[in-house]
Amino acid sequence: MTTLGAVLAGGRSSRFGSDKALAMLAGQSLLDHAVAALAPHCDAVIIVGRGDVADWPHADMGPLGGIAGALIHAAATGFDRVLTAPVDCVRLPDDLRALLEPAPAFLDTQPVIGLWPVAVLNDIKAMLEDAGDLAVRAFARRIGARAVASGFVPPNINSPDDLTRLAAL
């Protein structure tokens, strides 16, 4: 099975106050940190919501729009599944793939970190077209994804102060 990694970077960063993806941590942007954290777990990595792949059906659909864009790209390029992570996730568990096997599954502490088979593409499109509950957990329930417990608690960077606290660790 081939796995496409997708960093979800299309958010408005409204709570952060500026483009969170470009915020710097230890000399690198959060986007660069997220790509580096995801890369060891995938066969290739794309950035969704800017550059590589657009959110689907359009911007401002939240993480589901990014996951949908990644699944569409994966289907078009021959990948079997997509491993997603948000742009502010600068660390991931070393055993991430093993934790999330078999797909579909997501980390209970951060549902955007998930392993999604391309076969669920029609389900996510239907949810986005209905524009009802667009929470990742609602999508997970719809497709029967497992919530995986882990000791890993991802960093939560919603403000410059959060970034400052993370940099101090």
Task: Please report the pLDDT score of residue 43 as a whole number.
Answer: 98
Cis peptide before 40 (omega within 30 of 0): no
Task: Please report the pLDDT score of residue 25 as a whole number.
Answer: 79
Going along the chain, which residue ranges are E strands? 3-8, 24-25, 28-29, 44-48, 81-86, 105-107, 110-117, 146-148
User: 50 in helix, strand or coil?
Assistant: strand
pLDDT by 10s per residue, the chain, length 169: 899 999 999 876 667 666 788 788 788 999 999 999 999 999 999 999 987 799 999 998 999 999 999 999 999 999 999 999 999 999 999 999 999 999 999 999 999 999 999 999 999 999 999 988 999 999 999 999 999 999 888 887 888 888 888 888 7
Task: Please report the pLDDT score of residue 139 as a whole number.
Answer: 97
Task: Please report the pLDDT score of residue 155 as a whole number.
Answer: 82
Question: What's CA 161's distance to the chain center, in Å?
Answer: 22
What kind and span of H or E run contains 123? helix 121-130
Query: Please, are residues 49 and 59 in contact by the beta-carbon 8 Å criterion?
Result: yes
User: 53 in helix, strand or coil?
Assistant: strand
Task: Please report the pLDDT score of residue 72 as a whole number.
Answer: 98
Cα separation of 25 and 126, whole Å? 37
User: 22 in helix, strand or coil?
Assistant: helix
Helices (H) and strands (E) in the chain, counts: 6, 8
Task: Please report the pLDDT score of residue 74 as a whole number.
Answer: 98
Where along the chain do its domains lie?
3-168
CATH number of 3-168: 3.90.550.10
Query: Please, are residues 100 and 112 in contact by the beta-carbon 8 Å criterion?
Result: no
| Type of residue at 102 | P
User: 8 in helix, strand or coil?
Assistant: strand
Structure-token pair, residue 2: 């081939």
